[in-house]
Structure 1
Amino acid sequence: MKVVVDKSKCQDHGQCVFSSPDVFRLDGEGHLQYVSDAADELRDEVEEAADVCPMQAIRIEG
């Protein structure tokens, strides 16, 4: 599954990290890093991360 974060919308709130720590993390400066090609078995938690994103910056393709 392909995970896409619209960096023009993302404000590094980090809510996605709590929902899907295997895919999303905040770096040492507090900026979002993520795995763009995530395993399909992580889909449920990535969908939850997309739902809780206050900026609705996360989408799943494929």
Structure 2
Amino acid sequence: MVALVGGFYLLREHWNHVAGNWIYLLLLACPLMHLFHGHGGHGGHGGHGGQGSGPRNDNDKV
């Protein structure tokens, strides 16, 4: 909460600098969101379910 209040006052005092460079801040947000989004680890994307991923039951007949 202290960081949020401090960030608010910092942004308020330096709004002219931020408003002039907002496009660079937007571009910087893209890699930061990719890093901190949390994809559940970097183990790859195989094994997310789908057809043929596990034992077949009798109820799965088509």
Report which of the two structures shows the higher radius of gyration computed on alpha carbons: 2
Q: Normalised by the size of structure 1, how large is the TM-score?
A: 0.28
Larger strand proportion of the pair? 1
**More contact order relative to length (CA 8 Å, sep ≥ 6):** 1
Q: Normalised by the size of structure 2, how large is the TM-score?
A: 0.28
